[in-house]
């Protein structure tokens, strides 16, 4: 549906313009807010807040972290998906929203969702926190990374500037939780906040969605991957491992993006007994699928050295391949062109560099084999 064309057609008709806004936002959020959109009366104040809204599985994880807190302050309420998730755990939530229209819509949405243990304040959250004498068990903040000049990633470039107001937040709360861009370097985050901050890389099975900074902390780094199957957790280990050589019949293990963002290149060796293929190749190999592996497992069908003969053979035998590269001299599109195949089909090809510096072409089944969805301690996900 062409929503811009509809806006041109009904320009000046306020009711129609709101209908178009709601339809467009529901279209944009269909995948990330399926439960919320079951409520026909849930409304969106703007497309910007719809685009920036936290996906429900990630918000559920934020709620899980907030569980046990009696009082929570959300300093950047927005669409309120995080605050609503925290309120559902029993916390009494105060959400502060700068935009008056967004604040009013938020109050209506809370009523629509049947959430009573939440109050929405229309104010500048920093000024409000400075003026109040209230204390909270938890302060949550997701500073705006977009403005008229583009997108920002560093905490000091976002609004509000968390590096400036962190002492204020810590003076008013037992715990502070900061949602940050996944593009940031974890060491930079600790330099901007605290060396003892806990940092959690949170992602889906396809991408790292955010870095979550929690203060006070112990300096730990961990990873959480959320999916419709549950929550998979992992903490980087510190055990060295010998490189693994991929072979037909074994499993090629690809960690979820959040796990790799957390620096967990040693995680599988420590927790699951599988090994890295090479120090700079973020893939692993195991004779069997380790229970609770935080990623996907692909059954290896063939392994070839990357040379003219193997390229010609693969081109002859496979008309279609899903191609990915890890620590390889060619990008995936370049390798597709080199192989002369079309993208797609029932097989996946990984171009990788092994520990002995050989360039390998690994052909696997395209669909990953299900891995057990259990956390690193062997517990069922909550």
Strands, sheet with 251-255, edge to edge from the N-terminal-most edge strand: 275-278, 281-286, 251-255, 295-305, 359-365, 342-353, 320-326
**Beta carbons within 8 Å of 355's beta carbon, 6+ residues apart:** 243, 245, 277, 278, 279
Q: How far from each other are the two terminal CA atoms of the chain, in whole angstroms?
A: 38
pLDDT on residue 259: 79
**Radius of gyration for the alpha carbons in the chain, expressed in angstroms and rounded:** 24
Span 130-146, average pLDDT? 92
Which tokens is 353 given? 């560099």
pLDDT on residue 22: 97
Is-contact 155 176, C-beta < 8 A?
Answer: no
Helix and strand tally (H, E) in the chain? Answer: 13, 18
Beta bridge partners of 215: 176
Which tokens is 103 given? 């604040």
**Beta carbons within 8 Å of 235's beta carbon, 6+ residues apart:** 220, 221, 222, 223, 262, 264, 267, 376
The region of weakest confidence among 223-227, 317-321, 326-330, 367-371 is: 367-371
Residue 154 pLDDT level (bands cut at 50, 70, 90): confident
pLDDT on residue 274: 52
Cα gap 192→54, rounded to integer Å: 24
Beta bridge partners of 213: 178, 199
Q: Is 82 helix (H, G, I), strand (E, B) or coil?
A: helix
pLDDT digits (tens, 9 = 90+) for 17-58: 999 999 999 999 999 999 999 999 999 999 999 999 999 999
Is-contact 362 250, C-beta < 8 A?
Answer: no
Looking at the predicted structure, is the pLDDT value of residue 148 above 80?
A: no
What percent of the chain lies above the pLDDT cut of 90?
63
Is-contact 50 28, C-beta < 8 A?
Answer: yes
Handedness of CA 180, 182, 183, 187 (dihedral sign): positive
What percent of the chain lies above the pLDDT cut of 70?
87
Residue 122 pLDDT level (bands cut at 50, 70, 90): very high
Of these ranges, 228-242, 281-295, 308-322, the one predicted with the greatest mean pLDDT is 308-322
State the chain's maximal CA–CA distance in angstroms.
74
pLDDT on residue 382: 32
Average pLDDT value for the chain: 87
pLDDT on residue 264: 57
Is-contact 215 155, C-beta < 8 A?
Answer: no
Within 10 A of 3 (CB to CB), how many other CB atoms are there? 15
Residue 294 pLDDT level (bands cut at 50, 70, 90): confident
Identify the burial level of 130 via C-beta atoms within 10 angstroms of its C-beta, where 0-12 means exposed, 13-18 middle and 19 or more buried: exposed
pLDDT digits (tens, 9 = 90+) for 251-265: 998 888 887 787 655
Cα gap 224→201, rounded to integer Å: 6
pLDDT digits (tens, 9 = 90+) for 201-235: 999 888 889 999 999 999 988 888 887 666 666 55
Looking at the predicted structure, is the pLDDT value of residue 364 above 80?
A: yes
Cα gap 105→97, rounded to integer Å: 11
Higher pLDDT, 185 or 79: 79
Span 310-336, average pLDDT? 94
Higher pLDDT, 2 or 268: 2
pLDDT on residue 376: 32
Cα gap 92→76, rounded to integer Å: 16
Per-residue DSSP letter, 54: P
pLDDT on residue 373: 34
Higher pLDDT, 223 or 69: 69
- Determine how β-strand 136-141 pairs with β-strand 146-147: unpaired
Q: What is the DSSP string of 169-217?
A: HHHHEEEEEEEE-TTS-HHHHHHHS-TT-EEEEEE-SS-EEEEEEEES-
Beta bridge partners of 303: 362
Higher pLDDT, 159 or 106: 106
């Amino acid at each position: 549906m062409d929503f811009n064309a509809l806006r041109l057609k009904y320009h000046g008709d306020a009711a129609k313009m709101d209908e178009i806004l709601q339809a467009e936002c529901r279209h944009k959020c269909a995948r990330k807010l399926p439960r919320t959109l079951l409520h026909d009366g849930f409304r969106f104040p703007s497309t910007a807040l719809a685009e920036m809204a936290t996906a429900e599985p990630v918000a559920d994880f934020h709620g899980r972290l907030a569980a046990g807190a009696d009082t929570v302050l959300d300093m950047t309420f927005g669409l309120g998906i995080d605050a609503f998730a925290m309120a559902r755990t029993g916390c009494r939530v105060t959400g502060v929203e700068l935009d008056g229209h967004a604040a009013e819509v938020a109050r209506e949405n809370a009523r629509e969702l049947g959430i009573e243990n939440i109050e929405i304040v229309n104010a500048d959250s920093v000024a409000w926190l400075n003026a109040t004498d209230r204390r909270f068990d938890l302060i949550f903040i997701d500073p705006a990374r977009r403005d008229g000049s583009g997108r920002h990633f560093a905490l000091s470039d976002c609004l509000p500037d968390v590096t400036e107001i962190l002492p204020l937040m810590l003076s008013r709360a037992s715990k502070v939780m900061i949602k940050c861009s996944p593009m940031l370097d974890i060491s930079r985050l600790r330099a901007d906040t605290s060396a003892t901050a806990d940092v959690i890389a949170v992602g889906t099975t396809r991408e790292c969605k955010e870095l979550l900074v929690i203060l006070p902390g112990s300096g730990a780094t961990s990873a959480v991957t959320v999916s419709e199957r549950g929550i998979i957790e992992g903490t980087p280990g510190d055990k060295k491992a010998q490189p693994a050589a991929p072979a037909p019949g074994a499993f090629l293990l690809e960690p979820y993006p959040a796990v790799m963002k957390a620096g967990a290149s040693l995680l599988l060796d420590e927790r699951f007994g599988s090994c890295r293929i090479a120090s700079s190749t973020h893939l692993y190999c195991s004779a069997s699928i380790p229970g609770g592996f935080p990623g996907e497992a692909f059954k290896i069908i063939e392994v070839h050295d990357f040379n003219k003969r193997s390229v010609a053979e693969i081109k002859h035998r496979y008309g279609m391949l899903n191609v990915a590269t890890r620590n390889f001299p060619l990008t995936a599109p370049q390798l597709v062109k080199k192989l002369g195949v079309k993208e797609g089909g029932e097989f996946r090809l990984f171009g990788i560099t092994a520990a002995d510096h050989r360039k390998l072409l690994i052909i696997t089944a395209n669909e990953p084999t299900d891995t057990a969805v259990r956390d690193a301690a062997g517990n069922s996900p909550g």
